[in-house]
Amino acid sequence: MALKVDSKTALVQNLKKLKKVTGLNNKEICALAADNGDHILHGNTVTNVLAGKDFQSKTIDAFAAAFNVSPGDMINPLGFNDEGKPIDKGEAFPMDAVETAIDCVLNICHLAGVEDRAWINATIKEAAHEYIQSGPDAAHGYVLTKLKGSNVN
């Protein structure tokens, strides 16, 4: 089971990560969108997007201008690293994400008696992605949810 993230979810996750990494507030993001790309972005739009509300495609362009990345990067389901750089599909995950994912998956699989190596390998990658997007608790929760919804042994 591969991770399936729609563009709205990816934008929300990426915007949260970029705000955290850069320390920018909504007003500063709006100013950068105007300065870097001549985009009009309102603070309430930032708040609404972060709340998961619908947005127009031009909003993606405005956020991309504000953070100096491509619009595709803003909806990249792999997200951004701790330096605010987009994670490329072929790029290695940060070591803390990998270590947490491996420990989490192997411990849960040991307790549940799961020995399916293909399932374990895929789940480690997916858990590392969850860790990057939402932290270690989300990675752990993802593994438990995936295990409950599958018939592995």
pTM: 0.61
**Residues 95-138 pLDDT 10s:** 788 889 999 999 998 999 988 888 888 898 889 888 877 888 98
CATH of the domain at 25: 1.10.260
Q: How many distinct structural domains can be found in the chain?
A: 2
120 within domain boundaries: yes
15 within domain boundaries: yes
* Co-location of 59 and 11 in the same domain: yes
149 sits in which H/E element: none
Domain of residue 122 covers 95-148
87 within domain boundaries: no
88 within domain boundaries: no
86 within domain boundaries: no
Q: Which residue has the higher pLDDT, 86 or 110?
A: 110
Helices 117-134 + 95-112 axis angle, to 10: 130
pLDDT at 153 over 80: no
> Quick one: residue 80, left, alpha or beta (phi over 0 = left, psi -120 to 50 = alpha)?
beta
What pLDDT shows up at residue 2?
45
CB 74 within 8 A of CB 64: yes
**Residues 51-64 pLDDT 10s:** 999 999 999 999 99
What pLDDT shows up at residue 5?
64
Helices 57-67 + 43-50 axis angle, to 10: 100
pLDDT at 19 over 90: yes
* Terminal-residue alpha carbon distance, the chain: 15
